[in-house]
Structure 1
């Protein structure tokens, strides 16, 4: 039987470790490919909650999609993001998170929608390593797909909103250079927080 009392919101052990490293960036900037390369090198990677929600909603014919009901989508994605954070145990190496709660608040702000007070509190409570890696817009590798139906220009606006959101939340941004996947992985590993 699972020990429900072991589930600690905010995961104080992980926050204290500074090992929870966020990789964020605009859609189509190579983030998922880079995370795959880091996983291939033995690093733990937590998936993007938003992408999971989109797949589930599309499978069920639901409307909690970012382009249909942004508020409901964010509510589901925020809950999943917190669950992933809360169930991740610290380790001796960095643990990479594909996006964070800041991505969700930035998305709402970009859409001109109100950010619920509880979501703002969650951003303050669920703290990741102080340096966040960000993949910038890169037209050469940008591909539109079903789970991310947006133009390159929209992806650039998304990137600007993410930069503003992370800076406002008190994080330092480390831009991942436009280079080969191996070189990008080398860069991230070389610049992990001490």
Structure 2
């Protein structure tokens, strides 16, 4: 037995990741929600993001580690809304240094399932109170996080531009 399956959905903001995870959860899959959004929704989360982006990245990474550990106790597959390399992409986009410990964890603590990319999808993109990027920034974010995943040796599988149910079917088929 090779252990639990840890798959990830990555990509820029507003590309349908959370909607896909909600559909997978509705179908009985274990999912881990996006750390960044949870932090932004917490008291002072937006302030942390705006005034201390390094602290925001550290908080995201700590939550990603906790969700990775939680998933290890589960049978079957867990699908994550983003993962460790997403934080690295954020740091690169912000022009901030990558802490050595974070880089080491990204190299040594590995996701075992497929890494799905929700490509930028302008027709569904909407900003909101936590998703403050404009369309160009959303595209840049996608580029940064995808580069980080590839830098750590992961291959990305692009999700098709289809309904959430069809995207869920696509993911489930590849999870085996």
* TM-score in terms of structure 2 length: 0.93
CA contact 1:54–1:147 (8 Å) conserved in 2: yes
Q: Distance in 1 between matches of 2:75 and 2:54?
A: 37
- Residue segments in structure 1 that go unaligned for 5+ positions in a row: 1-12
What are the residue-to-residue correspondences of 1:18-57 with 2, within 5 Å? 19-56=5-42
2:128 corresponding residue in structure 1: 145
Larger RCO of the pair (alpha carbons < 8 Å, separation 6+): 2
Between structure 1 and structure 2, the one with the greater Rg is 1
1:81 corresponding residue in structure 2: 64
1:120 to 83, 98, 103: 103
CA contact 1:35–1:96 (8 Å) conserved in 2: yes
Deviates more, 1:117-126 or 1:167-176: 117-126
2:48 to 64, 69, 86: 64
1:176 to 145, 148, 159: 159
Deviations 1:129-160 (A, max 9, x none): 25300100001000100111110110000111
2:140 corresponding residue in structure 1: 157
2:80 corresponding residue in structure 1: 97
Q: CA deviation at 1:28?
A: 0.5
CA contact 1:48–1:99 (8 Å) conserved in 2: yes
Judged with a 3 Å threshold, the aligned counterparts in structure 2 of structure 1 residues 178 and 62 are, in CA distance, closer, same or farther, namely closer
Q: Distance in 2 between matches of 1:87 and 1:32?
A: 19
Q: Which 4+ stretches in 1 moved above 2 angstroms?
A: 60-63, 87-93
Q: Distance in 2 between matches of 1:61 and 1:153?
A: 23
Q: CA deviation at 1:123?
A: 0.7
Q: CA RMSD in A?
A: 1.7
CA contact 1:39–1:45 (8 Å) conserved in 2: yes
Deviations 1:46-90 (A, max 9, x none): 11111111112xx2477321x332101011111111112112234
